[in-house]
Structure 1
């Protein structure tokens, strides 16, 4: 893989950055094969520490991150029960033992779970989002990770609608940071046309901050799809993806907030619908739209 070219693309996508800025990266493709090892952006968010197809082998993205000095927002999958969490923690411990400070110095934070609270919400259930985890389960997992004494921020990633739900307050109390996922495209009970996307996102961000009880809010997922079906008044296309990048990414997040954009490369060989990959589904150094931020 042309790491040097990807690094060049990374350097072009923003102006002055917040402490952490990067992209989300999946662990597998739609056919179950591994994604190419790539970590050539400033920061990368992972959803699991376990290499696909293994029980608890550390994910190969860690070595890629070390090779390219890419910081990592680590993810531990939390919707598959205690046995799976044991494997996540085993993989994390194994990576620390194997790589030492070359790895730990790159850890921006550790997210225990991703959208687990959303998936058990009425909306998540209606949308057939799959298994989630209750607040008390997540708090237990967070405490297990905190007991590793890695001296890194520990938090949880969820939709902004989950964070403003008072029944999830125990998770907020257990976190060092809140990872917020916000997509105006999916807010299909509102007038979510691209002209209103900036306002909708800022409202969701401010609501999350208000619910955070003083904890840091990191934007762990946001973006606009380059293709796919309409969601109410939201149209998925390259023009709107570019507009959203300019207004939300360049205009607000990249210079002010820790941000992991969704997403760099979408899964393949089957293109998801909607698809959010700024390079599409094929690994490339050429984005589908101009990622230079306006002056």
Structure 2
């Protein structure tokens, strides 16, 4: 992800932002379809994940409904934990995979309540990776909307009207070339990671807020309105692993906590919903490759919980309740 120069116009203080508590955003969390052992989550594992997430949120975000039989396996957990809502991902990397995603939606959405679905995101950084053109992504978003109109939930309610959007890196939304996808979407999620921009500890929170605000402004301009749901799809900091460059924010629990309190809580105070990355450490996850080709094992250390579900740091903003 590209580096941005900090523009202080967007850096509002917490004391100013919290003058109206009604503007406080909602914290959610990303949950992988595989567990700490690298195996797919079964129904019991999903129930445990939802229980752990519910300690601080009623929203989780996932990536693909057919991979690891995610939607099939989460059904019992959602039917038991009726307060939890899911931002469900639909993977689009190729037509066979996309067809499997559509089949999963058609087969298993009728087993849960429409109220359990916060929205459905088609693609996760598909534009950043170059998997799809903006026009192709717009077409797939429209295809999922059409599919949902033919599905009813377990109580006979149509899934028509469930929000369908997409998720991508902040700089993708800023570059001005992706208006077709924005126009087709009911919502947009913005991913922003100071770590992947090699930010220092002193600059990481400023970078996060600035990047997100740049994306919000660009998306609103492309959509032609500020009455449009925009949230943060992924952000956070790793708590261990190999640093990529000297001077980068330290890979420690204290630093991740600082980013949460100073960066994520600022976005929440500004009324922006944030889905933190991620629920639990993934020790079997492959090495991550940065834009410059270097590799790191940091993706294995991004959980707010460790492998034994011990919470690493507080997820309550110091200025008040989320």
- Calculate the TM-score normalised by the size of structure 1: 0.80
1:74 partnered with 2:88: yes
Alpha-carbon distance in structure 1 between the residues aligned to 2:76 and 2:286: 27
Offset from partner CA, 1:206-247 (integer Å, 9 cap, x none): 111111133321111000111122244232111100101111
Contact 2:75 2:111 in 1 (8 A): no
1:206 partnered with 2:220: no
Partner in structure 1 of residue 121 of structure 2: 111
Alpha-carbon distance in structure 1 between the residues aligned to 2:67 and 2:111: 15
**Structure 1 vs Structure 2 CA RMSD:** 2.4
Alpha-carbon distance in structure 1 between the residues aligned to 2:38 and 2:140: 26
Residue of structure 2 aligned with 1:277, choices 303, 306, 315: 303
Alpha-carbon distance in structure 1 between the residues aligned to 2:28 and 2:269: 9
Alpha-carbon distance in structure 1 between the residues aligned to 2:172 and 2:142: 20
Report matched runs for 1:21-36 at 5 Å: 21-29=27-35, 32-35=38-41, 36=45
Contact 1:279 1:287 in 2 (8 A): yes
Contact 1:222 1:261 in 2 (8 A): yes
Partner in structure 1 of residue 311 of structure 2: 287
Residues 243 and 271 (structure 1), Cα distance of their counterparts in 2 relative to 1, 3 Å cut = farther
Alpha-carbon distance in structure 2 between the residues aligned to 1:39 and 1:74: 14
- Calculate the TM-score normalised by the size of structure 2: 0.73
Task: Report the structure number with the largest CA radius of gyration.
Answer: 2
Offset from partner CA, 1:78-124 (integer Å, 9 cap, x none): 11x1221111111112122223xx2x11111110010111112xxxx
Partner in structure 2 of residue 45 of structure 1: 61
Q: Which runs of at least 4 in structure 1 moved beyond 6 Å after TM superposition?
A: none
Gaps of 5+ in 2: 1-20, 150-159, 288-296
Alpha-carbon distance in structure 1 between the residues aligned to 2:105 and 2:122: 12
Contact 2:187 2:229 in 1 (8 A): yes
Contact 1:218 1:258 in 2 (8 A): yes
Alpha-carbon distance in structure 2 between the residues aligned to 1:133 and 1:30: 31
1:216 partnered with 2:229: yes
Residue of structure 1 aligned with 2:189, choices 175, 179, 187: 179
Partner in structure 2 of residue 245 of structure 1: 260
Alpha-carbon distance in structure 2 between the residues aligned to 1:200 and 1:241: 14
Residues 65 and 19 (structure 1), Cα distance of their counterparts in 2 relative to 1, 3 Å cut = farther
Alpha-carbon distance in structure 1 between the residues aligned to 2:255 and 2:71: 37
Alpha-carbon distance in structure 2 between the residues aligned to 1:96 and 1:219: 25
1:95 partnered with 2:94: no
Matched residue SS, 2:50: coil
Gaps of 5+ in 1: 1-14, 121-131
Residue of structure 2 aligned with 1:226, choices 207, 216, 239: 239
Matched residue SS, 1:133: coil
Report deviation, 1:258: 2.0
Alpha-carbon distance in structure 2 between the residues aligned to 1:93 and 1:138: 20
Residues 230 and 200 (structure 1), Cα distance of their counterparts in 2 relative to 1, 3 Å cut = same
Matched residue SS, 1:218: strand
Residues 167 and 30 (structure 1), Cα distance of their counterparts in 2 relative to 1, 3 Å cut = farther
Contact 2:280 2:305 in 1 (8 A): yes
Alpha-carbon distance in structure 1 between the residues aligned to 2:36 and 2:315: 26
